[in-house]
Structure 1
Amino acid sequence: MRFQTSATLVATALISPGLATYAPVSTSCPSTSLIRIADGLSDGEQTYRTARKEKADVALADWLLKTSCGFDTSGDLPTVALTSSGGGFRALLGGAGVVQAFDGRDSNVSTSGLYQGITYHSALSGGSWLLSSIIANDFATISSLLEIWKPNFANGLFTPDGSNATAVFADISADIALKKAAGFKGTVADAWSRLLSLQLLPGPNYGVDNTLSTITSLSSFIDYEMPYPIITAQNVDLSGTLCTPPANGSVWEFTPYEFGTWDPEVAAFTPTAFLGTSVSNGIPSTNSCITNYDNLGFVLGTSSTLFNDPTEGATEAPAVLLANLCQATATTSSNSTSTVDPLTVEFEEDVFSLLTEIPAITFTSAADLFATWPNPFYKLTSAPLVSAQQNLAMVDGGETGQVNPIFPFLQPARNVNVILVNDNDGDTAALYPNGAELRNTYLAASAAGLTRMPFVPSSDVFIAQNITERPVFFGCGDSSKATVVWIPNAPLTPAGGAIETAQTVINGTQTESLVANGVAVGSQNDSKEWATCLACGIMEGTGTVLPAECRACLEKYCFTQ
């Protein structure tokens, strides 16, 4: 079964610009199937990818020659993708700095212009906040977004709009009540999503009229200016005994055209514009379909929903109650000691205090801890992994330990050659990455048979080789692998780039300093040598003759055991 995901089809499902509601809306169904078996890219993505890469190749060639006139840019250039990791506001702001360092419209450092040469941009959790804010604001620059972010972040996530917080909570409760009145479940993830929308998205009623599918109507998308965006999340089967995804959990993709997973036990996609539709074995259960369920705030909130873990150390009644609803099994290494982060406990209790602030939310089962999405693959015999689940219970995209969304770019259909991995995970006591999440992705990719992922060692090797605070290239010399360029967050400015993942109040000065550190990370403190070496890493797998300076670059940055 296939459907045409053309701009024309999707346009038939677009909500009127004058309609600003969080409630899903009933509409007529398309004449084509709501299920596409994952035997390649959708028509919509393929069209966008082709046109985007034509523009990206021109910009990439200009950037390569800026770093060194010795690069041969006359042939096919690599398809380059960027990933933005999870890590809360640390990931959002550090990742924003890296984007700014790569964006020729918004910076004048050694790496400026590379963002224009990128075809894909994926994100999860805190990184999805960044990517969603960029695309919803019509491919905005980080400089312009800072003017939106700074006052919002200074108020704090749980005191939105400052002294008007009570009114905001009342509006959010009304939004969720409208969704419930339309026949859909409202959970803590909905409230979380609406609070994040207020911080990040444009438009009336706290950005409520932004949907992922209507990104296709923005001028920067129509003109193929923005890299194709992909946001990832995980699913939990609530018929089991655990409330967290398994280590080999499927990576689910939200894109402007489609939602689904490449996992062979599903291997199917559905139009994003019609998410929320009741479907059985690929056929709508009624004579009508649903639009507006793909609220962009709900998508980015889904990608960062972390409320399914038991609330360790909680003292307030709502948090204790909810922890008891979800009997997740925590695993720790035998030589580790479990400690409770007071800030994390405070964050979780702030989240669950929404019980009293937003009366439209009620909690009666573990399902109330998740983002609920009607399952478009319900009773689909070719999708045994989820065919018995009437609703998909979705959670943070990094809950399996893959804190960077690399899996979308290991799919052969996308033919991505170079993956720039901006890692803002907080592995160490100082809240910087140590390579652990990249190793997790390598192990998961090996288990899944995704052979494009190059070998990545354990974090012990990163530490032993003293490569935790600088970029590393993986896959050098092996044309069968994608080149993975690991760009870790590190303290490259006096203020550094580390805050707790759970921190939700950030003043303007700290917001600016975290972005500035991200710029330093992306450009390695405006290093001309780094820009040239990054170009060498991007071109290393092309088989072309590289400039003489690439020899020293590859010796320095390519991982060797």
Structure 2
Amino acid sequence: MLLPVLFVHVVASLLYCNPLLAAGQAAAAAAYSPLLVPCPAGFSLVREAGTNAQSQTLSQGELAYISAKQDGVLPDAWSTYLSSVERSTSGSSLPPYVSEILGGNYGWTAYPRLGIATSGGGYRAATFGAGVLNALDGRNASAVAAGTGGLLQAATYLAGLSGGSWLVTSLAQANFPTIPDLVFGTAAASAAGFGGWNAEFDLFEPSNSTAVNAAYVLDLIEEVEGKHAEGFPVTLSDVWARALSRHFANGTDAANFYDTSVTHGAGIIFSSLANLDTFQTYVQPFPILVSDSYSPNENTSAYADLAYAYVPLTNPIYEFNIYEFGSYDPTLGAFVPMEYLGSTNTSTCVTKFDQVSFVEALSASLFNEYNTSAAALQNSSVYEIIEILEELIPESDIDYTVGIVPNPFQGLHPETFIDTNETYLQLVDGGEDDETVPLQPLLVKAREVDVIFAIDAASDTEYHWVDGSSVIATQERMAYFVGTYSFPPVPPDNATWLAEGLTRRPTFFGCNSSAASGAPLLIYLGNGGPPLGQTTGYTNTSTAQLAYSADELEVMLSQTFDVATQGIAIETADGWEKDPEYASCLACAVVDRARERQNIERSGLCASCLERYCWS
């Protein structure tokens, strides 16, 4: 059990009964509390975003960002990436169209539009995803030498889910540092700066002392009481948010981890990330987080054909981006401004609801999985926290195991939107429909993404490797939304993925699909086993492991770099070696849809590369 019940309840009762403690709300509690303000004049809360591929529209903010990035940043980014590839070709000659496309010969509108999706799976997924991004980062000399560096800078979108949301959010709000600085922090970090992931502290039990852990959890709960006082439901997702904030938001380091006078990232607003200089200069890929809806009105016959789904594939998938919250699924097709998340009308608006820590918690909340029965919940590791919440923050008709957002879409599309009559939206981990890789936002036709780099670090097998389940689930979901999304064909069963080794090396999907179909080319990189013929894996830790030493993270990041740069490894008399042509083959995949748009025939090294790396 997480905490000793009697100890917790004694301390909780003292907190509840002591008026001085109730009045002396911590700075973090005030910073985490939403504010109610008059809505701006002429304010419109809901933006109808279209209910089919032909009518889909992006927000004006996103349109402006993508246009400015494509015009002002991508020319240099693609040119720099091209130089990295060309220096690592080992004498292999790329067909001219690769350098012509990436060099801007056909204009900025002809550049590939690249999206990166990084999966869920707790710290394992966050670290594996970080290792892959490090191998794509043009600031990493080793990545540049491998010929993969620069793709991160050339990416237009970066989507994260669950553990992947920790990576994406921390990277965005920390102003896009290098991956080592992100994970481990820097000695020069200011009190308000980013202190690293602080992974040596367990997310819920950071100390070896039972008393310290109990006090820590009670601090987390006290920090969310102000939100309840403002009239908003508070659940485990809020407590989880305050825990995550000490690892994935500015303001916390090892020295101040237990300091209750520090706000620990409370008050950092997701929509305010637009003010960061790396966002204002369009350096960052546009960040998107994904959350599943957990609805009392769901279609229980629409689960993925896999063993562990908790949410049907037909439930709306919600996304959070800098500018908006909502869903492109045709059953809803609507968004609200991220700045006013929590609002439900056009007279009184809510601000500060879109806390960075709360948004990433909504993408990574699995607590409803404990709530399959009263007995299962009572035997879970979080039941004691729920008991404290029930005692200190009593709420009727609220499920403490899900995330709660006031429903701004009430009354909208009653014929298709399953939660049109609900007061609140119930949100859970974005992978609970078995789509652990957040591909859906990158399949939105209006975003015109033509190549997706999918990073999969789910725990599909007994030993926490992947088996293709997430991508299979996405393919199954597409059958419910024909005409809205397009997806390249992938093997429909795990046996094929494992038998053909598709999870143990980069695999390209959609190479023989026409760009006219709207399906992007999918570059899949799974955490399917140790690289280069090694027998010991370091990247297949359990999702339940919530603390890591610096040495553990270092070896995981190092092994992930080899996974991300080995290609289809070659066995030699001296052991296994990386494919010397992989950087070129990756570049061929990146430009392939752009090549087709220019009516250029695939040729030369690119033809042989895609023959080797594509699944057909």
Could you state the TM-score of these two structures normalised by the residue count of structure 2?
Answer: 0.78
Instruction: Measure, in 2, the Cα distance between the counterparts of 1:157 and 1:120.
Output: 28
Partner of 2:269: 211
Report 1:130-145 matches (<5 A): 130-145=167-182
Tell me if the contact between 1:95 and 1:515 (Cα under 8 Å) persists in the aligned partners.
no
Partner of 1:237: 295
Instruction: Measure, in 2, the Cα distance between the counterparts of 1:376 and 1:178.
Output: 22
> Residues 433, 361 of structure 1: CA spacing in aligned structure 2 closer, same or farther, 3 A cutoff?
farther
In the TM superposition, residue 236 of structure 1 has moved relative to its aligned partner by 1.6
Per-residue displacement from partner, 1:409-436 (whole Å, max 9, x unpaired)?
A: 1111000000100000111222111112
Counterpart pick for 1:220 among 265, 271, 278: 278
The question of 1:436 aligning with 2:478 is answered no
Report 1:158-173 matches (<5 A): 158-160=204-206, 165-173=213-221
Counterpart pick for 2:113 among 69, 79, 88: 79
Please state whether the residue corresponding to 1:152 is helix, strand or coil.
coil
The question of 1:154 aligning with 2:188 is answered no
Please state whether the residue corresponding to 1:400 is helix, strand or coil.
coil
The question of 1:491 aligning with 2:533 is answered no
Tell me if the contact between 1:416 and 1:482 (Cα under 8 Å) persists in the aligned partners.
yes
Counterpart pick for 2:326 among 239, 260, 268: 260
In the TM superposition, residue 150 of structure 1 has moved relative to its aligned partner by 6.6
The question of 1:60 aligning with 2:95 is answered no
Tell me if the contact between 1:38 and 1:262 (Cα under 8 Å) persists in the aligned partners.
yes
Partner of 2:478: 445
Counterpart pick for 2:58 among 41, 46, 49: 41
Instruction: Measure, in 2, the Cα distance between the counterparts of 1:361 and 1:130.
Output: 31
Instruction: Measure, in 2, the Cα distance between the counterparts of 1:240 and 1:228.
Output: 31
- Structure label with greater radius of gyration: 2
Tell me if the contact between 1:355 and 1:362 (Cα under 8 Å) persists in the aligned partners.
no
Partner of 1:354: 385
Partner of 2:608: 552
- After superposition, the CA RMSD in angstroms is 2.6
In the TM superposition, residue 254 of structure 1 has moved relative to its aligned partner by 0.4
Tell me if the contact between 1:152 and 1:161 (Cα under 8 Å) persists in the aligned partners.
no
Tell me if the contact between 2:295 and 2:315 (Cα under 8 Å) persists in the aligned partners.
no
Instruction: Measure, in 1, the Cα distance between the counterparts of 2:120 and 2:463.
Output: 16
What is the identity, as a one-letter code, of the residue corresponding to 1:186?
V
> Residues 188, 142 of structure 1: CA spacing in aligned structure 2 closer, same or farther, 3 A cutoff?
same
Percent of pairs identical after alignment?
31
In the TM superposition, residue 122 of structure 1 has moved relative to its aligned partner by 0.5
> Residues 296, 151 of structure 1: CA spacing in aligned structure 2 closer, same or farther, 3 A cutoff?
closer
Instruction: Measure, in 1, the Cα distance between the counterparts of 2:207 and 2:605.
Output: 52
Unaligned ranges ≥5, structure 2:
1-26, 51-56, 87-93, 186-194, 252-261, 301-308, 568-577
In the TM superposition, residue 158 of structure 1 has moved relative to its aligned partner by 1.4
The question of 1:531 aligning with 2:583 is answered yes
What is the identity, as a one-letter code, of the residue corresponding to 2:223?
D
Tell me if the contact between 2:299 and 2:312 (Cα under 8 Å) persists in the aligned partners.
no
Per-residue displacement from partner, 1:22-64 (whole Å, max 9, x unpaired)?
A: 1101122122311100130010000011112231343123313
In the TM superposition, residue 472 of structure 1 has moved relative to its aligned partner by 0.7
> Residues 140, 321 of structure 1: CA spacing in aligned structure 2 closer, same or farther, 3 A cutoff?
farther
In the TM superposition, residue 165 of structure 1 has moved relative to its aligned partner by 4.2
* Count of matched residue pairs: 509
Per-residue displacement from partner, 1:361-408 (whole Å, max 9, x unpaired)?
A: 557656211100000101224663221011001001111111111111
In the TM superposition, residue 558 of structure 1 has moved relative to its aligned partner by 0.6
Per-residue displacement from partner, 1:481-534 (whole Å, max 9, x unpaired)?
A: 210111111322655311011111212211222222222222228754221111
Report 1:27-426 matches (<5 A): 27-30=37-40, 31-39=42-50, 40-54=57-71, 55-68=73-86, 70=96, 71=98, 72-73=100-101, 74-75=105-106, 76-109=110-143, 110=146, 111-148=148-185, 152-160=198-206, 165-203=213-251, 204-238=262-296, 244-279=310-345, 284=346, 287-310=347-370, 320=374, 323=377, 348-349=380-381, 351-355=382-386, 360-362=392-394, 367-381=399-413, 384-426=417-459
In the TM superposition, residue 247 of structure 1 has moved relative to its aligned partner by 2.6
Tell me if the contact between 1:250 and 1:261 (Cα under 8 Å) persists in the aligned partners.
yes
What is the identity, as a one-letter code, of the residue corresponding to 1:533?
C
Tell me if the contact between 2:28 and 2:263 (Cα under 8 Å) persists in the aligned partners.
no
Partner of 1:327: none
In the TM superposition, residue 278 of structure 1 has moved relative to its aligned partner by 2.8
> Residues 103, 320 of structure 1: CA spacing in aligned structure 2 closer, same or farther, 3 A cutoff?
same
Instruction: Measure, in 2, the Cα distance between the counterparts of 1:213 and 1:171.
Output: 26
What is the identity, as a one-letter code, of the residue corresponding to 1:32?
F
In the TM superposition, residue 147 of structure 1 has moved relative to its aligned partner by 1.9
Partner of 2:494: 459
Bigger shift: 511-520 or 358-367? 358-367
Bigger shift: 134-143 or 244-253? 244-253
In the TM superposition, residue 93 of structure 1 has moved relative to its aligned partner by 0.4
In the TM superposition, residue 19 of structure 1 has moved relative to its aligned partner by 10
Tell me if the contact between 1:477 and 1:540 (Cα under 8 Å) persists in the aligned partners.
no
Tell me if the contact between 1:151 and 1:508 (Cα under 8 Å) persists in the aligned partners.
no
Counterpart pick for 2:33 among 3, 23, 26: 23
Bigger shift: 143-152 or 425-434? 143-152
In the TM superposition, residue 548 of structure 1 has moved relative to its aligned partner by 2.1
Could you state the TM-score of these two structures normalised by the residue count of structure 1?
Answer: 0.85
Tell me if the contact between 1:266 and 1:386 (Cα under 8 Å) persists in the aligned partners.
no
In the TM superposition, residue 551 of structure 1 has moved relative to its aligned partner by 2.3
Please state whether the residue corresponding to 2:582 is helix, strand or coil.
helix
Instruction: Measure, in 1, the Cα distance between the counterparts of 2:350 and 2:196.
Output: 35
Partner of 2:23: none
Instruction: Measure, in 2, the Cα distance between the counterparts of 1:464 and 1:381.
Output: 45
In the TM superposition, residue 265 of structure 1 has moved relative to its aligned partner by 1.8
Instruction: Measure, in 2, the Cα distance between the counterparts of 1:262 and 1:150.
Output: 34
Tell me if the contact between 1:418 and 1:484 (Cα under 8 Å) persists in the aligned partners.
yes
Please state whether the residue corresponding to 2:250 is helix, strand or coil.
coil
> Residues 63, 528 of structure 1: CA spacing in aligned structure 2 closer, same or farther, 3 A cutoff?
farther
What is the identity, as a one-letter code, of the residue corresponding to 2:162?
S
Tell me if the contact between 2:377 and 2:383 (Cα under 8 Å) persists in the aligned partners.
no
